[in-house]
Structure 1
Amino acid sequence: MYSDLPKVLHPLAGQAMLTRVIEAAEATGADKIHVVTGFQSEMVRNHYQDSPYNDRIHWVEQTEQLGTGHAVSQALPAVDPDNQVLVLYGDVPLLEAETLTKLVAACGDSGIAVLTLDTANPAGLGRIVRNNKGDITEIVEEKDANIEQKAITEINTGIMAFSAAKLKAWLEKTNTNNAQGEYYLTDTVAMACADGLKVSSLTTEDEDSVQGVNNRLQLAELERRLQRKQAEQIASNGTTVLNLDRVEIRGHTTFGKDVVIDINVILEGDNHIGDRVRIGPNTVIKNSRIGSDTCIEAFSHLEDCEIQLACQIGPYARLRPGTVLCDKAKIGNFVETKKTVIGKGSKVNHLSYIGDAQVDEAANVGAGTITCNYDGVNKYKTHIKSNAFIGSNTALVAPVTVGMGATTGAGSVITSDIPDGQLAIGRGKQRNIPNWKRPTKKTD
């Protein structure tokens, strides 16, 4: 990966690859999840230190990297021998729980089942060797395969299910007599056959779901295929996606009816988009709830926001964490908000910064208005009450309250509270200087 970040922590659609594998394992109803780590083990564990998954994972460290069979054997002492074992890989991130559940069921009395794939490009992968009856007799890694075996197109995905007791017995017999000098998990297939057992198999047709990631190119290819699949899914469920190849869902988003998504929209984290919401091009929405009938214009950024019904946002609006827009509120172009509630029907239309503020109903905030909420050490709150009118280029020096129906004159610096219904003007008296000449450019 040419990276300081462990491979399994590289994100795919906003989630670490390993997280996706853990979620797939949980979805099968697994009693316990064992994660075997090796290189950069501490970094992998630290990533989940504050995660809800951490308490549900049994961490195992493989201090020597001696192959897949050796890795699995490190976890087996903590596994009940009466259980079944499903072996997954942290760099195979698109596994489907339904497929895995079927594989576990296929394990049955034989105590072993293999997930296979028939592919046109088997290069570098272990081949499934079958006898004349079609039964699996062994899995041969490419480095150990002969010419005839290399021509086989059915490959081992690496995903296998076992009886825990049988797996332990087989792994105790493995050795490193192979081209890579490692303990192969796949050697268990030949051992099962030697014990007179029929090796069960399940073949998947979804190549992406079993695709491993070994470099950034493969990761990028999976990202594109996953994003396309997600776009197709939401479109099939009733969302209008104007370009299926130019929307990104990096997390989990739910959609109401008749939503329209324009090009280059990014949805990160956990979001909910209500009915009839329109999202303009080049918009980013992260961890936010968007109420029905809201329109978000182009190039807007929303993070950790609550947008209620029928709001108007953008273009070029930035709504930072803690922003709440009440019904029919309007945030216009080049407006930034943070930790602010904009009341029902209130408007902040142009070129303003409103932070640490409470704006009540039906207030109008003029262009260029800022709340001066930070003195370099502490933050302070501004309260603009209902029906207030804030003139253009007003600086509201917090803490300050603008009363109900009060008005500020354009260009004012407001440093104290304004009573209800009053006009406040806080600016220097204008002087016109006659016979004034503009400076001229000096010449050498």
Structure 2
Amino acid sequence: MTATACVILAAGEGKRMRSEKPKVLHEVCGEPMLHYPVSLAIECGFSPVVVVLSPRLEGMIGKQLVERFGPRVVTAVQEQPLGTAHAVLCGRRVLSGFSGKLAILYGDVPLLDRQDIMALSRAGRASNVAFLTCRLADPAGYGRVVRNDAGEPIRIVEHRDAKATERKIDEVNAGIYLVDAPWVFRALRAVGKANAQGEYYLTDLVELAIRRGLKVRAVQRPGAERILGINDRVQLARAEELLNLRFAHKLMKAGVTIVSPRNTWLGPQTQVGRDTVILPGCIFRGEVKIGSNCTIGPGVVMTDCTVDRDVQVGPYCVMEGCSVERGARIGPFSRLRPGAHIGRDARVGNFVEVKNSTLGRGAKANHLTYLGDAEIGPGVNVGAGTIT
């Protein structure tokens, strides 16, 4: 099997987001959108995975990114925003000596999935350059895919540089490529910037390859929202909605009841056992593990929690950094803060807050109590109004 490396372009600031925060750090389902293409690249077996960042982003998340995803992920810096072709060239030092296929992804495409990459890989086996496309009812702003009479792609023209006839084309470039390396780095050095934006376009790679007699394949994919990038807050909200439903459907097919999938917010690290029922309005963030045969909600917020099987978490509880053993009952209106450990068959009732404390097996704190930095033994009944 041909080795495949990956470059993920994430240096753009994303001006249309109207934000002080770099675009790729905006969250989708509780995770920075950049994490999704990085995770996908790792899942697909690409190595190394080179994330191209701006100097500002490198200082903000470069080290954390490598720590989060491991040694297969490395970063490269694009010192000046000179275009997508230039961004790919910024990764060539890390890939010095690499020979094989190079996947080029973007940091603002959190919905891209394994099926899209598999389709691209199949096309890439029989070509030197393969890229994904889709059709849009309104293609304004996107690069158009120009084909010849035989239906073969001959170039990609950006919207600002397109002629009136070319702007009528509804097939657009998704910006996801699979190309031969190290050829791609030699080719990109020949890319000029005689265009409306004065930048080095990665899209010029298609025409360069054809001029050299190389094979180019354009792979049209359904689901434009899945393979196109996020540019503004409207698209961000839509991406979160679609990704959340993807997570919900996966859990439901595994035996979890989610009463209202559109009103339950999940994350990529949410794990739930079969026969558990999740009522509307629940939000799960970070690493959440819930066992089987539980009832959660409505309106529960969990962040980085572990919940054993047969647990009931009642309405409007807030739980963070805690663990709950089998058969316990939490809520309604309970708060479990970091370090809280609720033992088997224990009970935490309404308006009870627990912080960095342990409730032993069968212990009860039924109402109006604050338990902080305490150890409550098995079977203890904590009266209302207790403060530790």
User: Fold-level match, TM-score > 0.5?
Assistant: yes
- Is residue 326–residue 345 contact of structure 1 (8 Å, CA) maintained in 2? yes
CA distance in 2, matches of 1:228, 1:57: 28
Aligned partner of residue 102 in structure 2, secondary structure? strand
How far residue 47 of structure 1 moved from its aligned partner, in angstroms, is 6.5
Q: Check whether the contact 1:6–1:43 (CA below 8 A) recurs between aligned residues.
A: no
User: Which residue of 326, 338, 341 maps to 1:324?
Assistant: 341
Query: Deviation digits for residues 18-60 of structure 1, max 9, x if unmatched?
Result: 1112111111211211121226234443572673336433322
Which position in structure 2 is the counterpart of 1:29?
A: 45
Counterpart position of 2:26 = 10
| Structure 1 residue matching 2:93: 3-state secondary structure | helix
Q: Secondary structure at the match of 1:36?
A: strand
Q: Is the 8 A contact 1:135 1:198 kept in 2?
A: no
**Equivalent residue letter for 1:133:** A
Q: What's 1:61 paired with? A: 77
Report deviation, 1:92.
1.5
Percent of pairs with identical residues: 36
1-structure distance, mates of 2:79, 2:381: 64
The 3-state SS of whatever aligns with 2:182 is: helix
Alignment of 1:302 with 2:319, yes or no, is yes
What's the counterpart of residue 161 of structure 1?
178
Q: 1:197 to 1:145 in 2, by over 3 A?
A: same
In 2, Cα distance between the equivalents of 1:340 and 1:58?
A: 40
| Structure 2 counterpart SS, 1:129 | strand
2:276 is aligned with 1:259: yes
Query: Unmatched 5+ residue regions in structure 2?
Result: 1-16
Q: Distance in 1 between matches of 2:221 and 2:343?
A: 49
SS in 2 for 1:52: helix
Counterpart CA distance in 1 for 2:33 and 2:60 is: 11
Does the CA contact (< 8 Å) of 2:66 and 2:73 recur in 1? Answer: no
**Equivalent residues of 1:293, 1:311 under 8 A apart:** yes
1:211-253 per-position Cα deviation (integer Å, ceiling 9, x unaligned)? 2112222212211222223223322322211212110113411
Matched, 1:249 2:259: no
Q: Does 1:337 align with 2:354?
A: yes
For the pair 1:78 / 2:90, whether they are aligned, the reply is no
Report the equivalent of 2:213.
196
Measured after TM superposition, the shift of residue 336 of structure 1 is: 0.6
SS at match of 2:90: helix
Higher mean C-alpha deviation, range 256-265 or range 51-60: 51-60
Q: For the residues of structure 1 that align with 2:208 and 2:55, how far apart are their CA atoms?
A: 30
Quickly say closer, same or farther: Cα 1:209–1:49, change in 2 above 3 A: closer
> What residue number does 2:125 align with?
108
Structure 2 residue 192 is the aligned partner of structure 1 residue 175: yes
**Distance in 1 between residues matched to 2:148 and 2:38, nearest whole Å:** 35
Q: 1:201 to 1:298 in 2, by over 3 A?
A: same
Larger relative CO (CA 8 A, sep 6+): 1 or 2? 2
Q: Which residue of 1 aligns with 2:4?
A: none
Q: What letter is aligned with 1:362?
A: G
Deviations 1:38-90 (A, max 9, x none): 26234443572673336433322212211111111121233234221111111
**One-letter amino acid of the counterpart of residue 288, structure 2:** N
Query: Are residues 1:128 and 2:112 paired?
Result: no
2: CA distance between counterparts of 1:165 and 1:354?
Answer: 61
User: Aligned with 1:120: secondary structure?
Assistant: coil
CA contact (8 A) 1:6 1:44 kept: no
Greater mean alpha carbon deviation, residues 195-204 or residues 29-38: 195-204
1:131 Cα deviation from its structure 2 partner: 1.1
Which residue matches 2:114? 97
Structure 1 stretches of at least 4 aligned residues deviating more than 6 Å after TM superposition? none
Report the counterpart of residue 404 of structure 1 in structure 2: none
Write the letter of the residue equivalent to 2:242. Answer: R
TM-score by length of structure 1 reads 0.80
The equivalent residue for 1:375 is none
SS state at 1:85 partner:
strand
Match of 1:346 in 2: 363
Aligned to 1:334, what secondary structure does the other structure show? strand
In structure 2, do the counterparts of structure 1 residues 81 and 286 end up closer, same or farther at CA, with 3 Å as the change threshold? closer
Q: Which amino acid aligns with 2:376?
A: V
Q: Which AA in structure 1 matches 2:93?
A: P
3-state SS, counterpart of residue 332 of structure 1: strand
- Structure 1 counterpart SS, 2:39: helix
Are 1:111 and 1:166, in contact at CA under 8 Å, matched by a contact in 2? no
Q: 1:232 aligns with which of 241, 249, 255?
A: 249
Say whether residues 1:52 and 2:68 are aligned partners. yes
Give the distance between the partners of 1:155 and 1:171, measured in 2 at CA: 21
| Structure-1 residue corresponding to 2:14 | none
- 1:264-306 CA-to-partner distances (Å, cap 9, x unmatched) read 1011111111111111211111111112111111111111221
Change (3 A) 1:229 1:31: closer
Q: Distance in 2 between matches of 1:246 and 1:109?
A: 44
Distance 1:156 1:208, change over 3 A: same
- Do structure 1's residue 215 and structure 2's residue 249 form an aligned pair? no
After TM superposition, give the deviation of residue 11 of structure 1 in Å.
1.0
Contact 2:58 2:77 (C-alpha < 8 Å) held by counterparts: no
Q: Which runs of 5+ in 1 are unaligned?
A: 372-444
Query: CA separation in 1, counterparts of 2:332 and 2:99?
Result: 61
Distance 1:292 1:49, change over 3 A: closer
Deviations 1:286-328 (A, max 9, x none): 1111121111111111112211111111100001111111211
Secondary structure (helix, strand or coil) at the match of 2:76 reads strand
